[in-house]
Amino acid sequence: MKQTFGSRVFDVVNTALLVGMGLITVLPLLYVLAGSFATESEIATRPFFLWPERFTTGVYEYIFATPTFVRALITTIFVTAIGTLVQLALTLVMAYPLAKKGLPGRGVVLNMIIFAMVFSGGMIPTYLVVRDLGLLDSYWALILPLAINPFYLIIVKSFFQELPEALEEAARIDGASELMVFWRIVLPLSKPVIATFALFYAVAIWNDYMSPLLYITDNTKWTLQVLVRQLTSPEAANALATVDSANFFPVEGIKFAVVVIATVPILCFYPFLQKHFAKGVMIGSVKE
């Protein structure tokens, strides 16, 4: 099909805008990555660069040799893994029965979920609940208060409703219980939605800064995001000097390196879930 002059102009302008937006997004990441492998003097003298003049891994060697950083990284990985499993399991288990139209009280529960999706108790009431449950300074305080996302729950419920009922009925005729139908029939057919929302939950927990800031006062239980905040604050050098004393202390390089460490794991997992991601985010968008 022959393009008109207007369509060609649109394609050129659209491509230029997308390339410009891509550069705006990628260049800061490349600068941070290059800065993490540069020397302190180069970071101080060169305002912007995408490749260090002298390549060094000293900052990463310092980070992984320091218990504070390693402990924060392990804590973040642990909380993200357990939290994703808990949140995904609770979402799936709650969404499946709500997908059944004959469930008693279904309308009331759905209205409560929609209400919770629009309104929340706020920071102070949530803190009081966490405190009264004895979860302060506990890793569960980073998982349970946000265990189920109402919006994600509604989407997963809609996905379960679109599954063919004949498959479940055939399994019940063969003697399968409701739990077996859910485990053997529904979950294998739900890989796209499971992969998609596992990624959403994992990214949210990994990047969560407010929850550990509010509920964790023990610095030995800091997550990586809190440590990143401490490092990138104006008082970073003084704060870290009280935590770890060492002869080599690359203040600026550490800021770049920790941001890289906090970003790379999510970027590494995305390609493995990409094949399910496109299908999962389109759930419920097309109706026959």
Answer for the pair 142, 212: CB distance below 8 angstroms, yes or no.
yes
Mean pLDDT, residues 99-104 taken together: 86
Per DSSP, the residues of the chain read -PPPHHHHHHHHHHHHHHHHHHHHHHHHHHHHHHHHTS-HHHHHH-S--SS-SS---HHHHHHHTSHHHHHHHHHHHHHHHHHHHHHHHHHHHHHHHHT-TT-TTHHHHHHHHHHHHH----HHHHHHHHHHTT-TTSGGGGTGGGS--HHHHHHHHHHHHHS-HHHHHHHHHTT--HHHHIIIIIHHHTHHHHHHHHHHHHHHHHT--HHHHHH---GGG--HHHHHHHHHSTTHHHHHHHH---S---HHHHHHHHHHHHHHHHHHHHHHHHHHHHHHHTTTS---
Mean pLDDT over each residue of the chain, to the nearest integer:
82
* 287 — pLDDT class (breaks 50, 70, 90): very low
Instruction: Please write the tens of the pLDDT for every residue from 152-186.
Output: 899 889 888 888 888 888 888 888 888 888 888 88
Position 130, amino acid = V
Q: Is it the case that residue 3 has pLDDT exceeding 80?
A: no
- The model carries a pTM of 0.78
**Crossing angle (nearest 10°) for helices 150-162 and 106-118:** 140
Neighbouring residues of 54: CB distance < 8 A, sequence distance ≥ 6:
38, 39, 42
* 82 — pLDDT class (breaks 50, 70, 90): very high
What is the pLDDT, as a whole number, of residue 18? 92
Instruction: Please write the tens of the pLDDT for every residue from 179-207.
Output: 888 888 888 888 888 888 888 888 889 88
Backbone angles phi, psi at 113, to 5 degrees: -65, -45
What is the pLDDT, as a whole number, of residue 286? 45
Q: Is it the case that residue 236 has pLDDT exceeding 80?
A: no
The residue that leads in pLDDT, 25 or 243, is: 25
Mean pLDDT, residues 228-235 taken together: 69
Instruction: Please write the tens of the pLDDT for every residue from 107-154.
Output: 899 999 889 888 877 888 889 999 999 888 899 998 988 888 898 899
Distance CA 19, CA 41 (A): 32
What is the pLDDT, as a whole number, of residue 230? 75
